[in-house]
Amino acid sequence: MPPPRKKYRRDESEVSCCLKYLIFGFNVIFWLLGLFILGVGVWAWSEKETLSNLSRLTRVALDPAFLLVVVGTLTFIIGFTGCVGALRENTCLLAVYAIWLAAILLVEIAAGILGFIFKDWIKGEATSGFQSFIVSYREDPDQQNLIDWIQERWLQCCGIEGPRDWDKNVYFNCNSTAREACGVPFSCCKQSVGLLYFRNTQCGYDVRKPEFPQDRGLVIYEKGCLRSGEEWVEANLIPVAAVGVAVAILQVSTYTPNIAVVINCMRIITHTYSYVLIAG
């Protein structure tokens, strides 16, 4: 009768293969996503020739392309450290990855608390940023596309407080000699039924002139984007809060097993070092 086979008992210091590859696979997605966002941001920035026109760097913080570059770079770095760290069981990379996740989670919590406390300050900053977008509407295609999307697709609004805010733009000012004078961008116009995919880019011309023949409220949105944004948040408070909680849970669930991997890796190193000392 053959001797009974000894059952292998997994050492507590060993890293779970399932856990390691779970973290690896999760971070591969973020790595590739960060690389894609970074590529789009760099491409958008190069298309505008920002580096050849240094005057545009004064408004770089409001540049959507710059925001894509920053977000893509951070996502790429975090995904890289988590991916390679989990695959190679490298404690240094895993520790950096854990610190990144903890920092992002703390920033999100702090932003949520401060956003609730300093609502008026945030409203003022949003108003200032939107005003800058209006002033440079024709100068930066990214900002132009962003403000058109906000007014037409997202909030169905016009200007900050109303259509009159477009007087701050040199092209739409009523004293301008441009064709758009005393008008608003096409994104302020209400979409006609059956013409959702055919834009009339001249629909906002002359709508702020006293002699405009039609009722202005039938042609353009008269509610400002600031008030529309507040109403959107109030109407979607539960879904927004649910998304925030889901993101936090996802980050915590990713952060927790990563700490376990770091601890296990440190155990392996400690045991190996102790064995070398004893053997020596």
The per-residue pLDDT for range 153-211, each reduced to its tens digit, is 899 999 999 999 999 999 999 998 888 999 999 999 987 654 555 677 888 899 999 88
Arithmetic mean of pLDDT, 133-143 = 86
Residue 11 — very low, low, confident or very high, per pLDDT cuts 50/70/90? very low
Look up residue 219 and give its two tokens: 């042609």
> Residue 119 CB: number of other CB atoms within 10 A?
11
Percent of the chain with pLDDT over 70: 74
Q: At residue 29, what is the residue type?
A: I
For residues 76 and 35, is the Cβ–Cβ distance under 8 A? yes
Identify the pLDDT of residue 8: 45
- Which tens digits make up the pLDDT trace of 251-274? 665 555 555 555 555 555 555 545
Look at residue 12 in the predicted model and tell me its pLDDT: 45
Contacts with 186 (C-beta within 8 Å, 6 or more apart), sequence order: 148, 152, 199, 200, 201, 202, 203, 204
Residue 148 confidence (pLDDT): 93
